[in-house]
Chains A and B, each alone.
Chain A
Amino acid sequence: MIADELVCRELVELASDYLDRTLPPEARARVDAHLVDCPHCADYLAQMRRTVRLLGSLRTDSLSAEAKASLVRLFQRSRQ
């Protein structure tokens, strides 16, 4: 084993920065090197990526009819 070889326990702490491409190049290279031999960490990263995508699909809260009506009244009053 190489001294500065990344272990899985360390890789999971870099997962978010890795996916966001905010890791410094040399750390990114260490992650990439680890992934070549570690399908488990590849699975882990795939799960994190999927998680982030699911979070992005949550944005469904829409404007309630009630809130809309009262704000539109405010708008109309502001125009008078």
Chain B
Amino acid sequence: MSPEAPAVPARGLATATPGDVDGRLVDGLRAGDEAAFVALLERYHPALVRLAAMYVPDRATAEDVVQETWIAVLKGIDRFEGRSAFKTWLYRILLNQARQRGKREARSVPFSALVRAGAEGDEAAVDPDRFFPPGHADAGHWASPPREWGASAEERLLASETRDRITAEIAALPPGQRAVIELRDVQGWTAPEVCHALGLSETNQRVLLHRARSKVRRALERYLDDEGAPDR
């Protein structure tokens, strides 16, 4: 760090605006600051690996793809003009790398074919048997309603075992649902960011998210309903 740096982090090419963490880190990276690079790794690397893993056959290949992505970032950072957000630029590089690699490995089905909502079947959010059947006086209303998740459930929900259950449930989802719930709910992306990154229509994105969330809720409900049974 240069001694004259206290108020203004970089000269000339600075892209940072106040409160813009990525912009500050990008300025640092351009100036050759290793700490800025490490901070960007910490912010994005794990999420990039999770995203790459949706395109390539295994985790090791995903790690490779992300490594190539960072190499491209290091090479291209001086040309990055800050007209789009750094995050958008970064993910675009990642997706290009991942798609190229997926093609090379010739094992991946085009992602766009995987994520079409229709390709993942028509599924009800809740088992239809839990509602009164057509013809019944209360047709369509709960026959077997969900139980309120009270204080005792809350304790279990916060346990690390619950997180493992959710992770396993996400891993078992069809690829489109998995990608959307991962990016929206786990990584906290907005709907337009997800549509853009995955090449999905807004409608497909919403349908996939809804199905995925419904399944995770169902898994949690089942898990909590086992409550009466002793753990081991």
Q: Say yes or no: is A55 at the interface (Cβ < 8 Å to chain B).
A: yes
Chain B residues near A79 (CB, 8 Å)? Answer: 32
A75 touching B148, Cβ below 8 Å: no
Chain A residues near B75 (CB, 8 Å)? Answer: 78
- Chain A interface, number of residues (Cβ within 8 angstroms): 42
| Inter-chain residue pair count (beta carbon < 8 A) | 130
Q: Chain B contact residues: over half helix, strand or loop, or mixed?
A: helix
Kindly state the interface size class of chain B when it binds its partner: 35 or more
Q: Say yes or no: is B34 at the interface (Cβ < 8 Å to chain A).
A: yes
> Which residues on A are within 8 Å of B, measured CB to CB?
7-10, 12-13, 15-17, 20, 22, 38, 40-41, 43-44, 46-48, 50-52, 54-63, 67-68, 70-72, 74-76, 78-79
> Which residues on B are within 8 Å of A, measured CB to CB?
32, 34, 37-38, 41-42, 45-47, 49-50, 63, 67, 70-71, 74-75, 124-126, 128, 131, 139-142, 145-149, 157, 162-163, 166-167, 181, 185-188, 191, 206, 209-210, 213-214, 216-217, 220-221
